[in-house]
Amino acid sequence: MITDDPGERRAYDQVPDEVSAPLMQAMRDQISFRSTGSMYPDGIVSDIEINDPDMARPSWRYPDLAPHVVFLARILDRTIRERMRAEARDLRRHARARTALKEVVEMPDPQADRVLRTIEQNQGRLSNTLVREMPVLGEPGVWEEVVAAVMRVWGEEDDAAAGTRV
């Protein structure tokens, strides 16, 4: 999702900088670098030496994470407004197509879902595998009627979605 939008990708990369730059600014006088790393009590090896850990501790213990919160709020807002709306539309479309399909040939939901996937993936062509699994679909006119019913629903859904776009 973040990778869908170039602006969000840039923001994703910028957020840590917005937090680390002030942190490093606040700790500039408390930090020195060594040529060799040393091990801290927690087992981390680092070439950074903190001169006065007590003075520096609040800087990383209570960082300003507002940029993270704003970034996350934007992602959640976009998810709710766009992604969840699209997902709900797709689920409604699928349910209506399944119902239309079952009006032509009665079958359990998993089989109906398989037929819908085949129609979508094969551009409406009947696969030999599907005919072996469900011979009724190979009977004259049945597959064409199933595809027509599903395409009618998908066309109606696409027209309705286009009408609601801003």
Residue 128 exposed, middle or buried by CB count within 10 Å (0-12, 13-18, 19+): exposed
pLDDT at 166: 38
Mean pLDDT for each 10-residue chunk of the chain (166 residues)? 72 82 80 80 84 78 84 88 88 94 94 93 90 92 94 78 52
Q: At residue 38, what are phi and psi to the nearest 5 degrees?
A: -125, 155
pLDDT at 39: 79
Q: Which two tokens stand for residue 99?
A: 């119902």
> Model pTM?
0.56
pLDDT at 55: 77
